[in-house]
Amino acid sequence: MTRKVVILGATSAIAEATARLYAAEGAALVLVGRNAGRLAEIAADLKARGAAAAEIEATDLANPHDAAAQLQALASRLGGLDDVLLFYGVLGDQARAEADMAHAREILDVGFTSAAEWCLAAANILEAQGRGALVVIGSVAGDRGRQSNYVYGAAKAGLGVLVQGIAHRLALRGRGARAVLVKPGFVDTPMTDHLKKGGPLWASPEAVAQVVRKAADNGGPIVYAPFFWRFILLVIRLVPAPIFHKTRL
């Protein structure tokens, strides 16, 4: 049976790598994002890689008009819905966000408020049909507030709690639908081009995509990508505040 997948934020590097995995399986996809030209390029590549269909929907995900109706329309285009993957967000600039409330609001609105609407809409559709997966890209930045990125971290922390709650809700209903929060660490993407890269903590989009694809089929409600971030963040969360506040993380 052809897998039917909606990808929200399809132009992100991790989203594109994940879409290629689905394409190799012959899935039918709808790619959603703002840049119609880039979406068309990705869609053409996915068809060449074996996708049964690769349609595009150019829209501003950060400003949904009616997320439930929009998502239902995308599902209708596919003739059904198996997976909803959410990848979009904005890292922003922490120093600027501390002084510019409009920039802080943008980070929070994009990373949490709008994303929450899409997640809730997806959860309702998946619960009603009794199957499918919602997979959301969070971040290890949401595990503990750090002076270097706490506005972005707050958005991801809020989104993480929301997805965990959806996962709990769907599990209690016991009808087969599920939700998963994937928390990557450092990933070599255009969003992190301003950071110094290299070393064992950095992962490729392709490596994270493998985790995302697996998460859509099975696993717990929270998955770290790569797995070792679970243990790194456990240590960071357990450091007492008086000690933690002397670091410059």
Residues acting as catalytic residues: 152
Rounded to whole angstroms, how far apart are CA atoms 67 and 75? 12
Q: With the C-alpha atoms ordered 219, 224, 225, 230, is the resulting torsion angle positive or negative? A: negative
- Omega within 30 of 0 (cis) for the link into 240: no
Rounded to whole angstroms, how far apart are CA atoms 162 and 120? 9
What are the structure tokens assigned to 212, written together? 């995302």
Check if the beta carbon of residue 138 is closer than 8 Å to that of residue 116.
no
| CA angle 70–190–62, rounded 5-degree value | 25
Strands 83-86 and 4-8: parallel
Rounded to whole angstroms, how far apart are CA atoms 249 and 236? 10
